[in-house]
């Protein structure tokens, strides 16, 4: 593959990450780029991998999601080369982020995962963040994996109700 298209895909990823004030997941970026048919999945993964390897993007895995954050080096690189991204692509990105901002933010700010503890039980770790501030960070121990899985699933669906309930009861 020539380097020119791969460079464009890297710039698109950097542009998307710089346009938001929260991390985006690999899946969120992939959904946009693949839906627009800018490239294929493997090429996009190569672009993201090279961005991570070069220090322009930091990848953090939480549960089964990999969140991407632009670094200062990535932002500087983008400032020099963003003119290589067509205005049409920039507009597609702006529209996508505007229409999906709340859903994208919620997806990365509400996390849940469970794991087996050393005593053989399961722990469900639930968290909600806004910007870089922890709003809620709870770990519940339960005897069965099915319970831990259910707690994590319900946290994704009911986190706002639970947060409201907690604050009403505790304040």
Provide the pairing of β-strand 133-142 with 122-130: antiparallel
Any residues with CB less than 8 A from the CB of 20 and at least 6 apart, and which? Answer: 97, 101, 104, 105
Each residue of 105-127: pLDDT tens digit? 777 778 888 999 999 999 999 98
Contact 86, 79 (CB under 8 A): no
pTM of the predicted model, to two decimals? 0.70
What does the pLDDT read at residue 132?
Answer: 67
15: pLDDT strictly greater than 90? yes
Domains of the chain: 3-108 (1.10.10.10), 109-170 (3.30.160)
């Amino acid at each position: 593959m020539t380097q020119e298209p791969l460079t464009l895909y890297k710039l698109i990823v950097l542009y998307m990450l710089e346009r938001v004030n929260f991390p985006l997941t690999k899946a969120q970026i992939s959904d946009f780029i693949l839906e627009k048919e800018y490239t294929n999945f493997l090429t996009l993964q190569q672009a993201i991998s090279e961005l991570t390897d070069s220090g322009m993007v930091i990848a953090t895995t939480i549960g089964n999601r990999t969140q991407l954050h632009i670094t200062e080096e990535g932002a500087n690189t983008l400032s020099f080369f963003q003119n290589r991204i067509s205005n049409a692509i920039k507009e597609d990105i702006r529209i996508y982020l505007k229409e999906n901002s709340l859903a994208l933010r919620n997806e990365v700010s509400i996390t849940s995962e469970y794991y087996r503890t050393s005593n053989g039980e399961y722990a469900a770790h639930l968290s909600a963040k806004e910007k870089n501030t922890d709003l809620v960070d709870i770990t519940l121990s339960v005897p069965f994996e099915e319970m831990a899985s259910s707690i994590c699933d319900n946290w994704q669906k009911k986190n706002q109700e639970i947060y409201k309930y907690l604050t009403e009861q505790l304040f």
